Chains A and B, each alone.
Chain A
Amino acid sequence: MVSVRNVLAIAGKELRSYFASPMGYILVGLFALLSGFFFYVFLNSFIETSQRMSMGGGGSVNVNEMMIRGVFHNLAIITLFVMPMVTMRTYSEEKRSGTIELLLTSPITDVQIILGKFLGALGLFGAMLLVTAVDMAILFRLGNPEWKPVVVGYFGLMLMGGCFLAVGLLISSLTKNQIVAGFLTFAVFLLLWIINWLADSVGPTARTLLSFLSITAHFDDFTKGIIDTKHVIYYLSFITFGLFLTAKSVDSERWRG
């Protein structure tokens, strides 16, 4: 199909442009460094705790509960910090350099361009997550964790990352300046992350609403190895809505010129 071909052409271009500059390598490297550091810290405290527990004769600690959940929560937070750098240039750079004129005068639709850019960025995020699989492999070698929370956790991370990407794309489509796009994206991510902190100090209805809005609150079940359709649907509709708004933003840009 022609439309799929166009989407893949854009996605391929995006992915290649990440790795044609140092940007892609820096992002993957940064992600690996941060996740590796937290993994090491967790591993240390886990070993300490389990040694203490076994000395006390209280049985063993749960590797899933203590290690995997913590590691995934940390990965989610690192994602939040790194993702603005993935999306900030996607549209801004095309607008600044004028290549957007090539894309918008080619026989492809705005939606194909947006989906292509989204998939390209998701591909880079996939590469970043792939590196962290090394940490997980160490865990499997040393201990005997369940594989299900790990796989489901990665699945949840991809969904959550997709939401961040959709927001990032939208913000990038609003400005020519990628630094502005980056900072704005980071601010919005942070807000979406901490919005449920307010939950404790507001009424019950608002509390439900706020924790529902928070991107990270939906992530918890995934780290336990549970795929809840409620969360999957939340993430997928979040992504769809973000990309829809991006399409509207690109279109309105046309009219304003």
Chain B
Amino acid sequence: MIEVQHVSKKYGRVTAVDDVSFRVERGEILGFLGPNGAGKTTTMRILTGYIPASEGKALVAGFDVFTNPLDAKRRTGYLPETPPLYPDMTVREYLDFVAKIKAVPSSERKTRVDSVMERTRVADMAARHCSKLSKGYKQRVGLAQALIHNPEVLILDEPTAGLDPKQIIETRELIRSLAGDHTIVLSTHILPEVSQTCQRVVIINKGRVVAVDTPQNLTARLKGAETMYVQIDTEGAEAGPTLAGIPGVTRVAASDGGYEVESERGTDVRRELARTIVNRGWGLLEMRPMRMSLEEIFLQVTTDETPAEASRPAEAGEEAANG
């Protein structure tokens, strides 16, 4: 449904997006994950035809966004980082206007406006001016605007930014309910969002794609070592050296009133760990595996840079490009 092929975006000598390629299948939700200034917004703007790519091409529903922009745009709904609202229009007027410029037939316009207001739960604010809406409502009207022409593809730039926790959950549910009928690309720098809503993740850093996979696979693949957390009642004795002596254990670190025990990958040290502790006559209070969260994976992939790469001027340029 969406195909991005070797897309680069340069601003003068600064590269904001560098040779990015990925595909999104019909009905899929793809998460676009990266720190601020990684090139998420730039990539999305290229996909929506707002800015042209310097190199490479992007296809939406089979249409090249550069050579065939109108056909591509007709099939794309886009929620930019800040919802593009006209402050002096009411919500209904606004959606009606968007429906007009998104080529919704005039006979269907009213029903479309009503149905998206229903769907995004903004109907109670229909007569309110956009400038008088709360942040949460603005975001939802922005989403309504993206849905108005029932596009095949939805591009959502940080759809949950600035919402309160309840609204975040509601918005995620809404997005999940839209998958299937729509192909969705959403960007975020909030990690749980990805594991909760997306089927696939593209992690982007400094303009480059660093990983593409499902959230589960990413978690499994990037889990380097197995780590156990144990809490022991040693009655004052130091347990560290004893634990480090267990075969297979590579590192022991005190943490949080207990110990983090790291072992070689593929070695299960749990039995030996428990036996040693019990044999010493200590009380084993707690033992649990420490899973690497997406958060840590994210940090790992986005900070594992070679020095040469890290010094590339991409960051500064991206700030300027997003402005």
In the complex, chain A residues whose CB is within 8 Å of the CB of B100: 5-6, 9
- Chain B contributes a number of interface residues (CB within 8 A of A) equal to 34
Q: Is B22's CB within 8 Å of the partner chain A?
A: no
Q: State how many angstroms separate the Cβ of A91 from the closest Cβ of chain B.
A: 14
A residues 201-228 with Cβ under 8 Å of B? none
B residues 40-90 with Cβ under 8 Å of A? 42, 45, 48-52, 69-71, 73-74, 76, 78, 80-82, 84-89
Q: Is A57's CB within 8 Å of the partner chain B?
A: no
Q: Is B98's CB within 8 Å of the partner chain A?
A: yes
Residue of B nearest to A18 (CB): B88
Contact A101 B11 (CB under 8 A): no
- The interface bits of chain A over 220-257 (1 if a CB of B lies within 8 angstroms of the residue's CB, else 0) are 00000000000000000000000000000000001111
Residue of A nearest to B84 (CB): A102
Number of A-B contacts (CB under 8 A): 78
Question: How far does the alpha carbon of A100 sit from the alpha carbon of B9 in the complex, in Å?
Answer: 20
In the complex, chain B residues whose CB is within 8 Å of the CB of A59: none
Contact A99 B97 (CB under 8 A): no
Question: How far does the alpha carbon of A69 sit from the alpha carbon of B265 in the complex, in Å?
Answer: 94
Contact B102 A106 (CB under 8 A): yes
Contact A9 B97 (CB under 8 A): yes
Question: How far does the alpha carbon of A107 sit from the alpha carbon of B73 in the complex, in Å?
Answer: 5
Contact B48 A105 (CB under 8 A): yes
In the complex, chain B residues whose CB is within 8 Å of the CB of A6: 100-101
Residue of A nearest to B90 (CB): A20
A residues 78-101 with Cβ under 8 Å of B? 97-101
Question: How far does the alpha carbon of A257 sit from the alpha carbon of B82 in the complex, in Å?
Answer: 17
Q: Is A17's CB within 8 Å of the partner chain B?
A: yes
Question: How far does the alpha carbon of A6 sit from the alpha carbon of B106 in the complex, in Å?
Answer: 12
Contact B51 A9 (CB under 8 A): no
* Known contacts A9-B97, A17-B86, A20-B88; A257/B80 CB under 8 A: no
- The interface bits of chain A over 17-48 (1 if a CB of B lies within 8 angstroms of the residue's CB, else 0) are 10011000000000000000000000000000
Question: How far does the alpha carbon of A256 sit from the alpha carbon of B87 in the complex, in Å?
Answer: 27
- The interface bits of chain B over 88-122 (1 if a CB of A lies within 8 angstroms of the residue's CB, else 0) are 11000100011011110000000000000000000
In the complex, chain A residues whose CB is within 8 Å of the CB of B85: 97, 99
In the complex, chain B residues whose CB is within 8 Å of the CB of A255: 51-52
